[in-house]
Amino acid sequence: MNRRVVVTGIGVISSIGTGKDDFWNALIQGKSGISRISSFDTSAYPTHNGGEIRDFDALRFISKDRAAVMGRASCLAVSAAKLAFEDSGIVVADIDRQACGVTIGTTMGESQVLEKVNEAWVRHGQDRIPSDMVARCPCNVIPSNVALEFGLGGPNFIIPTACAAGNYCIGYAVDLIMRGSAEIMLAGGVDAFSRIAFTGFNRLLAVAPEKCQPFDKNRKGMMVGEAAGILLLEPLESALKRKANIYAEVLGYGLSCDAQHMTAPQAEGMAMAMSNALKETGLKPEDIDYINAHGTGTPANDKAECSAIKQVFGEHSKKVCVSSTKSMLGHTMGAASGIEAAACCLSIKHDIMPPTINYETPDPECDIDCVPNICRRQPVNIALNNASAFGGNNASVIFGKYGE
C-alpha cells in the first residue's frame, strides 16, 4: 500500500472546451459555458439556461456503429477516456489490458436514454419501446462501454454517489493501484444534460435564472450542466520509467456522510471529509494552497461549505484560495468533481488558480478568498478538491505537485 499514484493523462469534454488545453485556457480566462438550453423546450419552466456542450461530435472519437448503440453519457465518457489515453502517451495496444480498469461516477446515468424510453412508452405504449434502447439504460453500461471500446479487462465500476461521485472514483482507483489490483486506472465522472435533473432542481427552486454566482451575497442558485472528466492514474514508478508527463500526485482522500438530511448540506459533514483527507495525507491545513470548492451557487451550499472550511482551516481559511469552477460550467452532476480534479491537476502544473466568475457582492457569511473574476498566478503545490452530494455524501481529494 505504499505505492505512489500520479496523474499522467487528462481527458475533458465540457461546455467551455474539449480536450485539456482548450478547457484549461477557457477556465483561466473565465469563459462561461452557460447558454440558452437547446436540447428540449423549456418554455414551461421558470428558468431556461444551462451548461450544454454545443459542439460535441461523438464521431470525432467513436466509430459510427459504436456510437449508435451508446447513450450520450457513454459517448462523453468514452471520448474523454480516449483523450486521457492520448494525453498520457500510452498506446493501448502496448499495455496489459487485464491490468487496466475503469471507475466512473454519475448522478443521472444514461438519463437521456431513459427519457426516450419514457416518451416512447407514453406516446405509443410499452410494446413500441425499442428493445435495444432498454439495454442502454442502466448506469453500469457507462464504464462497461469504456472498457469495451479499449478492451480493458481490469476492475470496472460505476459509483453513483451523485455529485460527489467523481472524487469517490478517484479515491477508489488510487486504492486499487496501491494494493496492486490494477496498474492503470481511468477514473472520473460523467453526466449528459438531463431533463429529469433540470426539472428536479427547478422544482427545488435551486436553479438561478441567468447565471451562477458562487459565494456572492445575491447568489440565486446553481445551473444544470453536462461534462465528462477522466484522469489516467498509474504508479509513480511506471510513469518515471516511461518518462511520462506528471500533472500531479494523488496524496489521499477523505469521505463522510452528513447522515442528517437528504438534500440540505451540513457543514459538519463537509468538514469531516476534509479533515479525513488531511489526516490520511499527514498534511496540516496551512499546507493547502488552493481549494476547488463544491461551490454550487445555492445559498445553503455555499454557506455550509464556507463554514466547513473555517472549521477545518481556522485562521488559514482567510489565506487559502478557494474558487468555484461551477461559476463557468454549471453543475455537471456526476462529472463535477472529475472535471474539478482535472482543474486541480492543471492548477498545480501551471501554478494558476481558476477564478470564480460572476462575483459582484461580498457575503459576510462567505468571507473567503474566492479568487473573484480573474485567475491568480501563484505557486500551487497542494490542492484540495471538495465534492458534496444529495444523501449527505462528501468526498475530498488532495493532489500535490510531484517531487522526489
Instruction: Give the model confidence (pLDDT) of 264-283 as tens digits.
Output: 899 999 999 999 999 999 99
Catalytic residue selected from 306, 331, 345, 366: 331
Q: Are 234 and 184 in contact (CB under 8 A)?
A: yes
Residue 404 has a pLDDT of: 66
pLDDT over 70 (residue 103): yes
Domains, the chain, ordered by start: 5-241 (3.40.47.10), 250-400 (3.40.47.10)
Residue 331 a catalytic site member: yes
Residue 143 has a pLDDT of: 97
Catalytic residue selected from 139, 163, 321, 370: 163
HSE-CB of 116 using CA atoms within 13 angstroms: 15
Residue 105's DSSP bridge partners are 159, 189
Which band of pLDDT confidence, cut at 50, 70 and 90, is reported for residue 318? very high
Which band of pLDDT confidence, cut at 50, 70 and 90, is reported for residue 397? very high
What is the residue-averaged pLDDT of the chain? 95
Integer Cα distance of 259 and 401 in angstroms: 34
CA dihedral 371, 190, 160, 277 (to 10 degrees): -40
Q: Is the pTM of this model over 0.85?
A: yes
Average pLDDT over residues 186-193: 97
pLDDT over 90 (residue 403): no
**Longest CA pairwise span in the chain (Å):** 63
CA dihedral 388, 390, 392, 393 (to 10 degrees): -50
Question: C-alpha cell of 183?
Answer: 496498474
Per residue in 38-59, pLDDT (tens digit) is: 999 999 999 999 999 999 999 9
Is 127 or 356 the better-scoring residue by pLDDT? Answer: 356
Average pLDDT over residues 29-42: 97
Per residue in 66-87, pLDDT (tens digit) is: 998 899 999 999 999 999 999 9
Q: Of 36-40, 75-79, 106-110, 167-171, which range is least confident?
A: 106-110
Give the helix ranges, DSSP H, for 57-98: 64-68, 72-88
Which amino acid is located at 340 in the chain? E
CA dihedral 336, 338, 344, 346 (to 10 degrees): -120
Q: Are 133 and 141 in contact (CB under 8 A)?
A: no
Q: Are 267 and 311 in contact (CB under 8 A)?
A: yes
pLDDT over 80 (residue 112): no
Task: Give, in order, the Cα–Cα distances in Å from 13 to each of 62, 161, 376.
Answer: 14, 21, 24
pLDDT over 90 (residue 6): yes
Going 20 to 289 to 191 to 77, the CA torsion angle's sign is positive
Residue 61 has a pLDDT of: 97
Question: C-alpha cell of 142?
Answer: 457507462
Residue 163 a catalytic site member: yes
Per residue in 280-294, pLDDT (tens digit) is: 999 999 999 999 999
Residue 366 has a pLDDT of: 97
Average pLDDT over residues 374-383: 98
pLDDT over 90 (residue 121): no
Residue 294 a catalytic site member: yes
